[in-house]
Amino acid sequence: MNNIYDNRQFFDQYSKMSRSQQGLSGAGEWHQFKALFPELSGKSVLDLGCGYGWHCKYAVECGAKQVLGIDLSEKMIHEAKAKNADSKITYRVCGLEEYDYPANSYDCVVSNLVLHYIADIDTIFRKIYLTLKADGVFLLNIEHPVFTAGVNQDWIYDSNGRSQHWPVDDYFYPGERVAHFLGLDVTKQHHTLTQILMGLIKAGFRLDVVEEAMPSADMMDIPGMSDEMRRPMMLLIKSVKQA
CB-based contact 170:103 (threshold 8 Å): no
Q: How far apart are CA 232 and CA 140, in angstroms?
A: 16
CA angle 145/115/108 to nearest 5° reads 120
**Rounded CA gap, 140 and 110, in Å?**
6
Distance of CA 229 to the CA centre of its chain: 20
In the list 194, 216, 219, 222, the residue contacting a second copy (rule: CB under 8 A) is: 194
Total chain residues near a second copy (CB under 8 A)? 34
Which DSSP letter does residue 142 get? E
Q: Could you tell me which stretch among 90-98, 101-109, 121-129, 195-203 binds a second copy (CB under 8 A)?
A: 195-203
Binding positions for a second copy, 199-228, rule CB under 8 A: 201, 206-212, 214, 228
Q: Say what angle helices 193-203 and 121-131 make with each other, to 10 degrees.
A: 30
Whole-angstrom distance, CA of residue 116 vs CA of residue 121: 9
Q: Are 90 and 69 in contact (CB under 8 A)?
A: yes
Which 47-66 positions form the footprint of a second copy (CB under 8 A)?
A: none
Q: Which of 6, 167, 181, 182 binds a second copy (CB under 8 A)?
A: 167
Cβ distance to a second copy smaller for residue 61 or 208: 208
State which of positions 116-155 bind a second copy (CB under 8 A): 146, 149, 151
Choose between 70 and 149: whose C-beta lies nearer to a second copy: 149
DSSP state of 219: G
To a second copy, the closest distance from the beta carbon of 207 in angstroms equals 5
Selected binder of a second copy within 35, 82, 103, 156 (CB under 8 A): 156
| Sole binder of a second copy in the list 164, 217, 221, 223 (CB under 8 A) | 164
Tell me if 167 sits within 8 A of 148, measured CB to CB: no
From candidates 173, 175, 176, 219, binder to a second copy by CB under 8 A: 173
List 83, 92, 180, 230, residue binding a second copy (CB under 8 A)? 230
Q: Which residues bind a second copy (CB under 8 A)?
A: 146, 149, 151, 156, 164-173, 192-194, 197-198, 201, 206-212, 214, 228-232, 235
